């Protein structure tokens, strides 16, 4: 497996772990108890920063390379992938705004908040699945070792503030929670 794909898939496994934390907290909310809102906010803040700074740009490079090599039209082009990443970020911002509203107004319908959370988790999972099944699989079949090593020059130093070797203090609580959750690395 090319190192770049290994890295992208490992990121996805980490994002999936975060989806499970959101689902666990939403189950608490659904029972009428108080979930750890700050933990959920921390997950969303991470998902609004690290992927856009490091994960998505690397996927963009793979897609740009791939689009020169394939005529298969189910593979999204750079513009389509960028649009999908924009939609993903807007579902996260919507969830974050809903979270802030819930904290200041307890009278908001619980179903409304649950639906926003559910829509975000479903979209994130569908997006990762599309990338793995369509983009990564095609890239693995089509790109040469030389192309993968050129793509790898875009990887940069490990900069993941949550799952990386030098975690950010802002994510300390979330790191502690991950220590009790199944992780892929």
Burial class (CB in 10 A: 0-12, 13-18, 19+), 14: buried
Please state the closest distance from residue 119 (CB atom) to Fe ion, in A.
18
CB of 168 to Fe ion, least distance (A): 21
Contact residues: Fe ion, CB under 5 A: 131
CB of 128 to Fe ion, least distance (A): 6
Question: Closest separation between CB of residue 22 and Fe ion, Å?
Answer: 17
The nearer residue to Fe ion, 30 or 60, going by C-beta atoms, is: 60
52 and 89 in contact (C-beta within 8 Å)?
A: yes
Nearer to Fe ion, 56 or 102 (CB): 56
Distance from C-alpha of 150 to C-alpha of 182, rounded to nearest angstrom: 33
In the bound state, the residue with its beta carbon closest to Fe ion is 131
Residue 100 or 184 having the CB closest to Fe ion: 184
Of 25 and 131, the one with the shorter C-beta distance to Fe ion is 131
- How far are the Cα atoms of 6, 25, 43, 84, 165 from residue 38, in angstroms, in the given order? 31, 11, 9, 27, 23
**Are the beta carbons of 185 and 13 closer than 8 angstroms?**
yes
């Amino acid at each position: 497996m090319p190192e770049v794909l290994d890295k992208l898939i490992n990121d996805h496994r980490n994002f999936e772990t975060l989806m499970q934390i959101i689902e666990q907290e939403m189950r608490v909310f659904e029972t009428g108890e108080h979930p750890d809102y700050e933990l959920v906010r921390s997950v969303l803040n991470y998902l609004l920063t690290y992927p856009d700074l490091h994960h998505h740009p690397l996927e963009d490079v793979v897609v740009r390379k791939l689009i020169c090599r394939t005529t298969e039209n189910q593979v999204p082009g750079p513009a389509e992938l960028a649009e999908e990443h924009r939609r993903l970020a807007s579902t996260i911002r919507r969830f974050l705004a809903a979270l802030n509203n819930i904290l200041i107004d307890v009278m908001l319908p619980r179903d409304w908040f649950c639906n926003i959370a559910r829509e975000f988790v479903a979209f994130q999972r569908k997006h990762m699945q599309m990338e793995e099944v369509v983009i990564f699989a095609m890239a693995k079949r089509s790109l040469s070792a030389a192309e993968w090593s050129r793509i790898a020059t875009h990887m940069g130093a490990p900069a993941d503030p949550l799952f990386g070797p030098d975690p950010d203090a802002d994510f300390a609580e979330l790191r502690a929670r991950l220590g009790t959750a199944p992780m892929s690395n």
